[in-house]
Amino acid sequence: MLLDSMQKIDGEGIAMLDAHGDLEIFRIRLGKALNFEFHEDYIGSYFSERGPRESTALLDIERAFNKLDKIALDRRLKVGRPIVLIINSMHLLRPDADGMNLLELLQQRAEQWAASNLITVVFNSDDYWVY
CB 106 within 8 A of CB 121: yes
For 19-33, 53-67, 95-109, which range has the lowest pLDDT when averaged over its residues?
A: 53-67
CB 69 within 8 A of CB 118: yes
**Domain segments of the chain: what residues?**
2-123
What would the pLDDT profile of 32-56 be if each residue is shown by its tens digit? 988 887 655 455 555 555 555 567 8
Q: What angle do CA 91, 120, 128 make, to 5 degrees?
A: 15
CA distance 65 to 95: 22
CB 38 within 8 A of CB 53: yes
What would the pLDDT profile of 7-28 be if each residue is shown by its tens digit? 676 667 788 999 999 999 999 9
CA distance 14 to 26: 18
